[in-house]
């Protein structure tokens, strides 16, 4: 499924208000590691000063930011083949293919431009839509993180998932 007019681009500093509003939704902060009551300043810093190795993409329909994908390419010498990802889509846009479009763009960036061969993520074990999406893109469950995060008054378990890609061949 493809939303008409959907584009993926790098997140820009001005996007922070849209991301702040997106993360006001309980579904979004409960399914990630964010807290309720998001902060403008926190989101401004996240997109304006992303930190080394961090690539933030947004999904946009018309002028509206409807989703975000974040890839952190690790900087430590022996982890430079790997990165971790996180993603979220605005409540009103779930189930319309926005997450898949973000994941396609993020994997293209990781595989074909950053030469990462291992992508990692954490996902709550009860987040079925997210797990289904990740498995469709080749992520596999590598482990169970018990009582991984505190969520709405109790601990929640997560899966640690990863997607491996064969290293690029050298052509002579
Ligand atoms: C997980 C998430 C990013 C998926 O984004 P999306 O735009 O809905 O993804 P897509 O439309 O490309 O669909 C992904 C799959 O989940 C399914 N899905 C989406 N919303 C669903 C829902 N509410 N209930 C059941 N299935 C759902 C889709 O049908 C699709 O399944 P398919 O692959 O079998 O066709 C989005 O649901 C989200 O932002 N959730 C809240 C935050 C979150 O969980 N982030 C991930 C943290 S690890």
Length of the chain: 172
Q: Which residues line ligand 1 (CB under 6 A)?
A: 27-28, 31-32, 87-89, 93-100, 123, 127, 129-130, 132-133, 136
Q: Looking at the CA of residue 127, tell me the nearest atom of ligand 1.
A: 44
Q: What is the rounded CA–CA span in Å between residue 152 and residue 162?
A: 27
Q: How confident is the model at residue 141 (pLDDT cuts 50, 70, 90)?
A: very high
Q: What is the rounded CA–CA span in Å between residue 164 and residue 83?
A: 11
pTM as predicted = 0.95
Grouping H, G, I as helix, E, B as strand and the rest as coil, residue 151 is strand
Per-domain residue ranges of the chain: 6-164
Mean pLDDT of the chain: 96
pLDDT digits (tens, 9 = 90+) for 86-140: 999 999 999 999 999 999 999 999 999 999 999 999 999 999 999 999 999 999 9
Provide the CA 83 distance to its chain's centre, in angstroms: 11
Q: Is 3.40.630.30 the CATH classification of the domain at 6-164? A: yes
Q: Looking at the CA of residue 93, tell me the nearest atom of ligand 1.
A: 7
Looking at the predicted structure, is the pLDDT value of residue 1 above 90?
Answer: no
Taking CA atoms only, the protein residue closest to ligand 1 atom 45 is 88
Nearby residues of 111 by Cβ (< 8 Å), 6 or more positions away? 165
């Amino acid at each position: 499924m493809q939303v008409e007019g959907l584009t993926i681009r790098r997140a820009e500093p001005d996007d922070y208000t849209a991301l702040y509003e997106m993360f006001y939704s309980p579904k979004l902060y409960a399914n990630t590691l964010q807290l309720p009551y998001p902060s403008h300043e926190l989101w401004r810093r996240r997109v304006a000063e992303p930190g080394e190795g961090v690539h933030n993409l947004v999904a946009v329909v018309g002028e509206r930011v409807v989703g975000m994908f974040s890839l952190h390419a690790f900087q430590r010498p022996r982890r430079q083949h790997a990165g971790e990802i996180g993603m979220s889509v605005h409540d009103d846009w779930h189930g319309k293919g926005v997450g898949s479009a973000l994941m396609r763009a993020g994997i293209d960036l990781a595989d074909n431009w950053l030469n990462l061969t291992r992508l990692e993520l954490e996902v709550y074990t009860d987040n079925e839509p997210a797990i289904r999406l990740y498995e469709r893109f080749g992520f596999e469950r590598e482990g169970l993180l018990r009582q991984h995060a505190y969520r709405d008054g109790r601990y929640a378990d997560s899966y640690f998932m990863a997607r491996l890609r064969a290293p690029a061949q050298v052509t002579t």
